Structure 1
Amino acid sequence: LTSIGLEVEHVDDRASLAPFVIAKVVTAVQHPDADRLRVLTVDTGDGKPPVQVVCGAPNARAGLIGAFAAPGTYIPGIDVTLTVGKIRGVESHGMMCSERELELSEEHDGIIDLPADAPVGTSFAAYAHLDDPLIEINLTPNRPDATSVHGIARD
């Protein structure tokens, strides 16, 4: 793009969202040792038995469909790579994610709540149309033809 007179200001490659999958909360029960935590059973859609996840989100409930991160996944919004861990004595094998944890917005009031028809087990990035890079272009006054996608695509 720079060779045709367009300055690339920033490329936002959402490749970091590739490991997140759509998952369904099967059960949600109160954590035995914490008032604000719930122990979730989560179906990740991979054909394996549901996994146990400890969650502090206020909207965590059975039937919720959202974005799931398995152990080993890097969470960009909190700069952490997940591991299997114990939270107040209960093992957690992943994380149901909020928009802020995926750097989609500053929203951190709870888990991403997807529609009931969201396909469990598929890529969250593909479902949310976040699997393509976003290119920000700084236009110069001599290129009014590049103020639209068609103008840039033509070049």
Structure 2
Amino acid sequence: MKFTLSWLKEHLDTDASLEQICERLTAIGLEVEDVDDKAAYKPFVIAKILSAEKHPEADRLKVLSVDAGDGKPVQIVCGAPNARAGLVGALARPGTYVPGIDVTLSVGKIRGVESHGMMCSEKELNMSDNHDGIIDLPDDAPVGTSFASYAGLDDPVIEINLTPNRPDCTSIYGIARDLAASGLGT
């Protein structure tokens, strides 16, 4: 059975950390098989495109100047058709692993122009199969903050192994009740 930490905390009033909850689940007989802490999404930040100029060596590419909230514009080469000045989206910097394309970014040259990261599509972040362009967030999205927090992608997922003798834990309420009975909250 899989459930998110926030869903569990809707039913269990506790200040326990993810690690403490997982340890207690195992201690009460609900073996934790996997925890996806969503760490892969932590490096992505909300950024705003300041300018989008035509690439000097390619018809379908643009050279973007991007504000990541730190006051230092970043140059990025982008092929997305919706890349334009003023667009707010998700930025991946060099060193970031992009799960949807299974690539760790590095600084590179694309047709002779240096690129320091990428603006991401929904497919590149495993949010959907949409690869038509980069994510287009509302203009009031907070530039420089975590994209994962903004988009709700940072909620850890816990997977437990249920045995046939534990039908009481086939619901999130049953799991919360067992954790509360073990002294981990109310």
TM-score, scaled relative to structure 2:
0.74
Identity of aligned residues (%): 79
Give the aligned residue type for 2:30: L
Mapped to 2, the partners of 1:36 and 1:146 lie a distance apart of 54
What's the CA shift for 1:133?
Answer: 1.1
Greater length-normalized contact order (CA 8 Å, ≥ 6 residues apart): 2
Match of 1:30 in 2: 54
Larger Rg: 2
Identify the match of residue 106 of structure 2 among 65, 77, 83: 83
Counterpart of 2:124 in 1: which secondary structure?
Answer: coil
Q: Deviations over 1:101-143 (max 9, x none)?
A: 1222222111111111110000111111222311234545554
Does residue 126 (structure 1) correspond to residue 149 (structure 2)? The answer is yes
Question: Residues 67-146 of structure 1: matches in 2 within 5 Å?
Answer: 67-137=90-160, 139-140=162-163, 142-146=165-169
| Paired residue total | 154
User: In structure 2, how many angstroms separate the alpha carbons of the residues matched to 1:139 and 1:36?
Assistant: 52
What CA RMSD, in Å, does the superposition of the two structures yield over aligned residues? 1.9
Gaps of 5+ in 2: 1-24, 179-186
For structure 1, which segment, 82-91 or 142-151, has the greater mean C-alpha deviation from structure 2 after superposition? 142-151
Report the equivalent of 2:87: 64
- Select between 134-143 and 111-120 the one with higher mean Cα deviation: 134-143
Q: Distance in 2 between the 1:141 and 1:120 partners?
A: 48
